[in-house]
Amino acid sequence: MSRVSLLSDLLSSLGARTWFGERAENQPVPVTELTALCAKLVRSKGEATGVRMASEILGGLRALDEAGTERFFRALAEEFSPEAPALKAAAEAYAKDPSPKTLSVLQKLAEPPRQELFRRLNLAPGGTAELVKLRERLLPLLKSDRETFAPVDLDFRHLFQSWFNRGFLVLRPIDWTTPANILEKIIRYEAVHAIDDWDALRDRLAPSDRRCFAFFHPSIPDDPLIFVEVALTRDIPASIGAVLAEDRAALPAHSTDTAVFYSISNCHKGLAGVSFGSFLIKQVASDLKDSLPNLKTFVTLSPVPGFAAWLKRLPEDVVEGFTPEEKAAIAIVADQGLAFDAEWAFETELAEEARDGLLSLAARYFLRAKRSDGQPVDPVARFHLGNGAILNRIMHLGDISPTGLSQAHGLMVNYLYDLARVEQRHEAYADGQEIAASRAVTSLLPAGAGPHSMKDVA
């Protein structure tokens, strides 16, 4: 609110001419007028004028309905792209004579005017946050007509990668003394283990053995970009239920030895593809170690979102070659129809019967199943292994929530971050897609699994 009022103050003190003239309240500005003003903004040299124009354009865009939004992005795609004839001439000139001079002309003409438009829209108070939201509205269109909209999206990403460079981000702890307007966003954005209300939030933040950290951008100080929730424990917990139990007793922080990263949430769809997660985990681990030297182990407690689906799409002949325990497990978990009321998990005997087979199947899933590009099938595994973590443990019945059962037949895993070795591991993974796993995990692989990858059929 203060930013907006600041703007209106600024505008009124500047004499407050509006670009769109008088208009009945709630009457949106037509898209053609918006794009015309965008064109004027890109060409303008008047900097103070620019602030005003940017604000009015962003205001106009906020008011657009879905159809208007699509028309606007289409106009961005068509009218704010490089000018083909001029660029063609420059390309020919460079092709004929690749010199610094022809290169410079080519570069200048190859950059879409959209980028300059976005930079100038950023002049408006609150502009950065608005642009992130604007891209969020582009993403659905991208699915329906990639060819038209991908170039627009590329320009957003190009700018965001520059603006949201790790060097500009600020790490801040989130706790029970954090302002409420930020905390309500933590409730809203939590994507892994939902927070029901403010009491639940306090249980995540206030106890002496809980921590939370978020990255912020200085221009969006009251809205986190990504945050991670951490439980300080003695030993690695065997399930998420144990971590979130309402009636547990909190431990003094200095008596713990393990930091468990049990939830990482990206907050803005509009920043898709601009990644902070790896930096966040390592920075938080490093900061925690500094302030609590008693911490020895840094692990995640992570979901296995692709396991059940992968199991389902395994060709029959492949399953044929599995061990009897594996086949038994498949029979148990498959029998139960929709996984989310999977009764087997709550019947001790059945659950116990499925254990060895499930763990063995999971070992295949993580260590042998590969996408066509050679990477692991599991997206969370790709993220953490890519960060230099090691797959440390697979836990039977680690998450018996409906989501946990339907996605992963109840499995959870730990990825362990050994700060002294993440770099080498990262490189080993990046170079050779070497899956780093503990003995506890590799020993789950059945003898007959062999050394070869299983190409995934997805």
Site for a second copy in 274-333 (CB under 8 A): 275, 278-279, 282-283, 286, 289-290
On whether the CB atoms of residues 262 and 301 are closer than 8 A, the answer is yes
Binding mask 92-131 for a second copy (x = CB under 8 A): x-xx--x-x--xx-xx--xxx------x--xxxx-xx---
Q: At 37, list the tokens.
A: 């003003």
Q: Which is nearer to a second copy, 98 or 140 (CB)?
A: 98
Span interacting with a second copy, options 173-181, 230-238, 337-345, 391-399, rule CB under 8 A: 173-181
Q: Which is nearer to a second copy, 186 or 345 (CB)?
A: 186
> At closest approach, how far in Å is the CB of 48 from a second copy?
5
According to DSSP, the residues that pair with 298 across neighbouring strands are 259
Q: Which is nearer to a second copy, 349 or 431 (CB)?
A: 431
Q: Which of 82, 241, 305, 446 binds a second copy (CB under 8 A)?
A: 82
202 touches a second copy by CB under 8 A: yes
Q: Which of 27, 66, 79, 88 binds a second copy (CB under 8 A)?
A: 88
Q: At 191, list the tokens.
A: 């994507």
3-state secondary structure of 35: helix
Q: At 300, list the tokens.
A: 């995640």
> At closest approach, how far in Å is the CB of 264 from a second copy?
15
Q: Which is nearer to a second copy, 104 or 443 (CB)?
A: 104
Q: At 454, list the tokens.
A: 């299983």
Q: Which of 23, 66, 150, 273 binds a second copy (CB under 8 A)?
A: 150
> At closest approach, how far in Å is the CB of 195 from a second copy?
12
357 touches a second copy by CB under 8 A: no
208 touches a second copy by CB under 8 A: yes
Please list, in sequence order, all residues whose beta carbon lies within 8 angstroms of the beta carbon of residue 190, skipping any fewer than 6 positions away. 229, 263, 265
Cβ neighbourhood burial of 66 (10 Å; 0-12, 13-18, 19+): exposed
Rounded Cα distance, 139 and 106, in Å: 29
Q: Which is nearer to a second copy, 222 or 347 (CB)?
A: 222
Q: Which of 23, 27, 32, 48 binds a second copy (CB under 8 A)?
A: 48
Q: Please, which of residues 373-432 interact with a second copy by CB under 8 A?
A: 386-388, 419-423, 426-427, 430
Q: Which of 27, 46, 79, 458 binds a second copy (CB under 8 A)?
A: 46
Rounded Cα distance, 427 and 407, in Å: 30
Q: What ranges make up the beta strands (E) of 234-385? A: 258-266, 297-300, 369-370
Q: Number of residues in contact with a second copy, rule: CB under 8 A?
A: 88
Q: How far is CA 265 from the centre of its chain?
A: 7
Please list, in sequence order, all residues whose beta carbon lies within 8 angstroms of the beta carbon of residue 111, skipping any fewer than 6 positions away. 82
> At closest approach, how far in Å is the CB of 249 from a second copy?
13
> At closest approach, how far in Å is the CB of 413 from a second copy?
21
Span interacting with a second copy, options 216-224, 233-241, 265-273, 355-363, rule CB under 8 A: 216-224
Rounded Cα distance, 261 and 282, in Å: 11
> Which three-class secondary structure string do you get for 343-410?
HHHHCHHHHHHHHHHHHHHHHHHHHCEECCCCCECCHHHHHHHHCCCEEEEEECCCCCCHHHHHHHCC
165 touches a second copy by CB under 8 A: yes
On whether the CB atoms of residues 225 and 271 are closer than 8 A, the answer is yes
